[in-house]
Amino acid sequence: MGFGRKLALGAGDFGFNLYWQTASLYLLFFYTDVLGLPPSIAGAIYMLALIWDAVLDPLIGSVVDRTRSRLGRYRPYLLFGGVPLGLIFAASFLAPTGDSVFAIAVTATLHVAFRTLYAAISIPYSALFARVTQDARVRAELAGFRMVCATLGALIVAGGTLPFVKAFSTPEAPRLGWTILGLAFGVVASLLLLVVAWAARGYDDFEVQPAPRRDLQAMLRSLLANRALLIVLGAVMVSSFANTLFGKNLLYYFKYIVGRAELASAAMALVALGAAVLVPLFAWIARTRGKRATWLIGSVPSLIGMLLWRLGQDGSSLPLLFTALGLYAFGTAAYVVCFWSMLPDTVEYGEWKSGVRTESLVFGLGVLGQKFALGLGAGFLGIALAHVGYVANAEQTPETIAGIKAMMFWFPLGGWVVSVALIAFYPLGLKEHARIVEEIAARRLAASPETLNSALGTPVNT
C-alpha cells in the first residue's frame, strides 16, 4: 500500500475530528454560555445524545456486517452519508436560545440527529481498517496516518474555533460565526469522505456470498471470550470519563479562574499540536515495541503533567500550566494511536479464541464504550457544575472555583492510573499477534474446499 493511499484513508479522520472535536470541546460550552441553558440540562442533553449514539453503534455495526452491495460493504455509507451529516451538524448551531421547553426539545433533537448520522458513517469507516490489511505493523502505520490527520483536525478546531467565531459574528448576529463554522466543517468533511471511498477501492470489493447468519448467543460468547477487547474497553472507558472532566473544563477554567478566556483556545491547541507532533513517534513505538508498551510509555509524562497542573492550578503561573498541558499531550498521542490500532488486533484475537470474526461489531462496541463513558462524563460535569453553583457569564464563587479545580485534577489522575493498571494485562504483543494471524490463516486453509478435496484425492470443480 503506497503513501498516497494510506494518507487518503487516514484523511477521513481529519473530517470526523472536525465534528468530534467541535462537539467535544465546545458544544457543552455553547449550550451553557451561548444558548443560555442551565448546566445540568446542557449536560443531560449531551449525555443522553452520546449514550444514544453509544447504544446505536453495535446495532449499526451488526447492520454493516451484513451489508452487501456492488459498491462494497463500507463504501456506500461514506459516499452517501457525508452531506446529510454536514447539514445536521451546521443546524445544531441554529437552536433557539433560552431554557424554554421548546428550546430544550429542539436542541436535544438536533443533537440526537447529529449523533445518529455520525455513528452511521464513522462505524463503517473505522471497520474498514480491519479489512484493508491484517498485518499488525501496517495497521500501526495506518493508525499513525489516521491520528496525524485526526490531531491536525483537532488542532484546527481547538485553536481556530473561537477566533473564527469572533471574526464572523456581529453584534446583530452573535451566532453567525458558529453557523458558518458548522457549514465550513461540513463541506470539508463531506469531501474527505469521498476521498476515503475512492482510496478504499480494491479493498472493499463486491462480495457475492451473503453475510453469514450468527445467533446472538454465538456473538456474545465470542465477545466475552475476547479478553483483549474487554481490557481495551475498560481502559478506554475509564480514560474517556476521567479526561472529559479535564478537557471540557478548560474553557470554564480559563474564562472564570484565570480570567482570560482566549487562553482556552491556546491551551487546547497546544495539546492538539503536541499530540500531532508526537503521534508519529508513538506509531513508531507501536510498530517496534508493541501497543501495550506504547500506552504505558505515554502515560508517564501525562501523570507528571497532571501533578504539575495541580501545583499551578491557582492560575498564577501560566508557564507551569502550559508545561503541564504539553506533558499531557504525550498521553493523548499514545492513547489515540493505541486505541485505534489495538481494536483491529482484538478482532483477530476474538476470531482465534471463538472462531467468529465480527469486525464491525468489535469496532461498534469499542466506540460504544468510548462514547458511553464520554456521555456519562459530560452528564456528570453538568450536574457537578450545577452542584458547585456555576452561573454562566457571571463571577463565580470560591466554592465554584474550588469545585472546578478538584474536577480537573482528581478524576484525570485516577483515570490514568486505572487505565495503566488495566493495559498492563493486555495479552497481545507483536509476536503474539503475528502467531495468532498465522494460526487463523492455517485454519482457513485447512477448512477450504480445495484443501479438503486435495486431502481426499478429489478434483476441485472450477
Residue 325: CATH number of its domain? 1.20.1250.20
In the predicted model, what is the mean pLDDT of the chain? 86
- Average pLDDT (448-452) is 54
Judged by average pLDDT, the poorest of 10-14, 144-148, 238-242, 276-280 is 144-148
Structure-model confidence comparison of residues 229 and 449, the more confident one: 229
How distant, in Å, are the alpha carbons of 206, 235, 236, 332 from that of 369? 31, 10, 7, 17
Structure-model confidence comparison of residues 199 and 236, the more confident one: 236
**pLDDT confidence band for 46 (50 / 70 / 90):** very high
CA 415/CA 433 separation, integer angstroms: 27
At 430 the pLDDT is 86
- Write the pLDDT tens digit of every residue in 262-287: 899 899 999 888 888 888 899 899 98
At 9 the pLDDT is 85
What is the signed CA dihedral for 118, 153, 368, 278, rounded to 10 degrees? 160
At 452 the pLDDT is 44
Give residues with Cβ within 8 angstroms of 224, minimum separation 6.
230
How would DSSP label each residue in 330-372? HHHHHHHHHHHHHHHHHHHHHHHHHS---HHHHHHHHHHHHHH
CA 385/CA 379 separation, integer angstroms: 10
**pLDDT confidence band for 456 (50 / 70 / 90):** very low
Kindly tell me if the per-residue pLDDT of 363 is higher than 80: no
**Is residue 37 in some structural domain?**
yes
Kindly tell me if the per-residue pLDDT of 40 is higher than 90: yes
Reported as half-sphere exposure (CB side, CA atoms, 13 A), residue 71 has a value of 13
Kindly tell me if the per-residue pLDDT of 393 is higher than 90: no
At 327 the pLDDT is 95
CA 395/CA 257 separation, integer angstroms: 9
At 337 the pLDDT is 87
**Is residue 1 in some structural domain?**
no
Residue written as grid cell 470489493: 205
Kindly tell me if the per-residue pLDDT of 348 is higher than 50: yes
Residue written as grid cell 445518529: 116
**Is residue 451 in some structural domain?**
no
Number of structural domains found in the chain: 1
CB 123 within 8 A of CB 64: yes
CA 127/CA 144 separation, integer angstroms: 16
At 203 the pLDDT is 67
CA 102/CA 282 separation, integer angstroms: 47
**Is residue 210 in some structural domain?**
no
- Write the pLDDT tens digit of every residue in 298-329: 999 999 999 999 999 988 899 999 999 999 99
At 23 the pLDDT is 93
Nearest to 239 by CA among 412, 369, 379: 412
Structure-model confidence comparison of residues 297 and 211, the more confident one: 297
Supply 229's cell numbers. Answer: 477487547
CB 155 within 8 A of CB 269: yes
At 115 the pLDDT is 93
Residue written as grid cell 513505538: 285
Helix axes 262-289, 318-354, angle to 10 degrees: 40
**Is residue 448 in some structural domain?**
no
**Is residue 209 in some structural domain?**
no
- Write the pLDDT tens digit of every residue in 115-157: 999 988 988 887 787 777 767 677 777 877 887 888 788 889 9
For CA atoms 432, 434, 437, 439, the dihedral sign is negative
**Is residue 460 in some structural domain?**
no
- Average pLDDT (380-402) is 93
Residue type, 403: G
**pLDDT confidence band for 446 (50 / 70 / 90):** confident
Range of the domain at 376: 10-204+216-443
At 76 the pLDDT is 82
Judged by average pLDDT, the poorest of 70-74, 299-303, 410-414 is 70-74
Kindly tell me if the per-residue pLDDT of 208 is higher than 70: no
Kindly tell me if the per-residue pLDDT of 217 is higher than 80: no
At 140 the pLDDT is 72
**Is residue 294 in some structural domain?**
yes
At 106 the pLDDT is 96
Supply 438's cell numbers. Answer: 498465522
CB 266 within 8 A of CB 323: no
Range ranked top by mean pLDDT from 1-10, 171-180, 393-402: 393-402
Nearest to 240 by CA among 126, 366, 140, 145: 366
Kindly tell me if the per-residue pLDDT of 341 is higher than 80: yes
CB 28 within 8 A of CB 37: no
CB 36 within 8 A of CB 392: yes
- Average pLDDT (228-238) is 93
At 422 the pLDDT is 95
At 362 the pLDDT is 82
- Average pLDDT (395-407) is 94
Kindly tell me if the per-residue pLDDT of 357 is higher than 70: yes
